[in-house]
Amino acid sequence: MSNYHIKHLEEYFQVYRKSVRNPESFWEEIAEEHFVWRKKWDKVLEWDFSKPEIKWFEGAKLNITENCIDRHLPTRGDKTAILFEPNDPTEEAQHITYRQLHERVSKMANVLKNHGIKKGDRVCIYLPMIPELAVALLACARIGAIHSVVFAGFSSNALSSRINDSDCKMVLTSDGSYRGPKTIDLKGIVDRALDDCPSVENVLVVKRIDSDIEMKEGRDKWLQPLLDEAYSDCVAEIMDAEDPLFILYTSGSTGTPKGMVHTTGGYMVYTAYTFKNVFQYREDDVFWCTADIGWITGHSYIVYGPLANGATTVMFEGVPNYPDYGRFWEVVEKHKVNQFYTAPTAIRALAKQSLDFVEEHDLSSLKVLGSVGEPINEEAWHWYDTNVGKHNSPVVDTWWQTETGGIMITPIPYVTPTAPTYATLPFIGIQPALMDEEGKEIKGNQVDGRLCIKFPWPGMARTIWANHDRYRDTYFKAYEGMYFSGDGALRDAVGYYRITGRVDDVVIVSGHNLGTAPIEDAINEHPAVAESAIVGFPHDVKGNALYGYVILKETGESRDRDNLRKEINQQITEHIGPIAKLDKIQFVSGLPKTRSAKIMRRILRKIASNDAADLGDTSTLVNPEVIDEIKENAL
């Protein structure tokens, strides 16, 4: 019998050892006993990190939707698969059963097919958190189309560059979306994006806010009438385990986003197995992950991981502060949520409000509290543990990435003793290593270094869409034979890991991964801007916020500074989205540069963080004199 559900600490250590000593037979057992395959694999694992090439369950045939839906029908047909909680609490929640999900996915899959979408085609999904979003992912998977979800807070520019990078044939969107008291004109954003996207043939539009929108003849259609006419059964396309399931873009250290490619078999096995254990999910539990499906957290732990386990997964359309700051707790009480998974930034924002918002609600259904996306500081951890969990629900601080597909370092609740700010121990099958800057592994405990992974796991991304070289260079070049995460970490006396943050030019703002380079590119397009440098600095709610140092062209020098700041942020909103706006913008006459013309960001980070007393070695700068000016005028 495989160890699908780990229940105590000795079992964790025993299973962990097994998974590391003999990964192939370990994962083979899990895959064999807990999933349905149309054909078994010829080989469990084939890998070479130098190329890099990673194949799990090669030769196996399956369809992930048969695992997430069809196989549950005989025993869980009337069980709620997706529990939709709308933005407006007075609008009724929807309980979509596995049987209804089967019908809705089949119909949408048939609509896609009727519009010429075939196995391997890319479909861009730009939808708010409504059931059609989850249905759209599964409908693509049903017919073997590759979905590329773009978070519906990204701007038209960001959307078009993602559509073009993977030549999407179709866009699924809605007339608009609700966000607390506001509505957002999503279709308008899509229209602007598509001015520049020759590959898109059709746009199918969900009616959500009932707004008056323009429909482009021959390109745009309302989705509902098409669904009404579609057959309610759709034969699942049989896929190879290594066929791509989806592309999801994440930012990087250079301008263009990276389209991380996840494949079918390994991703399914890994998300399902982590879901079961990290949340200790039991039949009839209600699981709620507050992320948006536009991010990997939503892909893996709203859609695929829960559904592969036949779970009930909550999809929440709203925001934590609408109609007031008690909304999360109201929803927990209303739906008797058992596992709650959110980001530290939300916890910090809620911890600033009156405790009455929490205490008004009965949270006794909760069994597990999860945290993801950024380091959770000690204060937020304790607030969560005390006020939400009442010291009765373990806090699982889960470290992972878009690239890793699923959770990598985490406590297992009721199994691993937790410790504030520690993601604790590697998950089953995960072999972390800390590396020094010279490329040597740092062994032993009470050490810190750069976090790498030594051995493949089934959920890892296989490539970057249309750019395999970038995949190799970003993740497999810094340390030979290792996957490099881009994060720093320490390992304490008992072997627990704490993630210390990014060691590259990515800043995590409110749990969102933002590359500084694309933001700089956006700013530099402003006609008054000559050059810019963006760094992160600590922020009490967002974790990090962005600080911009901007050099103006001569023509910009006479301009009103506050107006310019607004225009710069507007420029960022248009190019990327409001999540990437700068909190502070300082105009400077120069940026500290080395002889090789590289900006010394270390110094800028210290000044932005109000920590400029010791700037370290500045002897390699060609223009050390700018430092005093920057320090003097720091915001």
The nearest distance, CB 408 to ligand PRX, in angstroms, is 9
The nearest distance, CB 95 to ligand PRX, in angstroms, is 28
Q: Which is nearer to ligand PRX, 41 or 465 (CB)?
A: 465
The nearest distance, CB 347 to ligand PRX, in angstroms, is 12
The nearest distance, CB 487 to ligand PRX, in angstroms, is 5
Q: What is the 3-state secondary structure (H, E, C) of 452-477?
A: EECCCCCCCCCEECCCHHHHHHHHCC
Q: Which is nearer to ligand PRX, 15 or 506 (CB)?
A: 506
Nearest to 180 by CA among 2, 23, 375, 324: 324
- What does the alpha-carbon distance between residue 23 and residue 188 come to, in Å, rounded to a whole number? 49
Q: Which is nearer to ligand PRX, 486 or 548 (CB)?
A: 486
Q: What is the 3-state secondary structure (H, E, C) of 586-613?
A: EEECCCCEECCCCECHHHHHHHHCCCCC
Q: Which is nearer to ligand PRX, 401 or 532 (CB)?
A: 401
The nearest distance, CB 500 to ligand PRX, in angstroms, is 8
Query: For the purposes of burial, counting CB atoms within 10 Å of the CB of 24, is it exposed (0-12), middle (13-18) or buried (19 or more)?
Result: exposed
Q: Which is nearer to ligand PRX, 110 or 402 (CB)?
A: 402
Q: Which is nearer to ligand PRX, 387 or 398 (CB)?
A: 398
User: Measured in whole angstroms, how far is the alpha carbon of residue 386 from the centre of its chain?
Assistant: 27
CB-CB contact of 78 with 68 (8 Å): no
The nearest distance, CB 38 to ligand PRX, in angstroms, is 30
Residues near ligand PRX (CB under 6 A) are 250, 296-297, 372-375, 397-402, 423, 485-487, 499, 502, 508, 513
- What does the alpha-carbon distance between residue 101 and residue 105 come to, in Å, rounded to a whole number? 6
Cα distances (Å, whole numbers) of residue 317 to 29, 135, 195, 289, 333: 37, 15, 29, 12, 17
φ/ψ of 56, rounded to 5, equals -115, 140
For the beta carbon of residue 461, count every other beta carbon within 10 angstroms.
26
User: Any idea which residue has 């945290």 for tokens?
Assistant: 371
The nearest distance, CB 490 to ligand PRX, in angstroms, is 12
Q: Which is nearer to ligand PRX, 66 or 292 (CB)?
A: 292
For the beta carbon of residue 197, count every other beta carbon within 10 angstroms.
18
Q: Which is nearer to ligand PRX, 176 or 375 (CB)?
A: 375
The nearest distance, CB 459 to ligand PRX, in angstroms, is 11
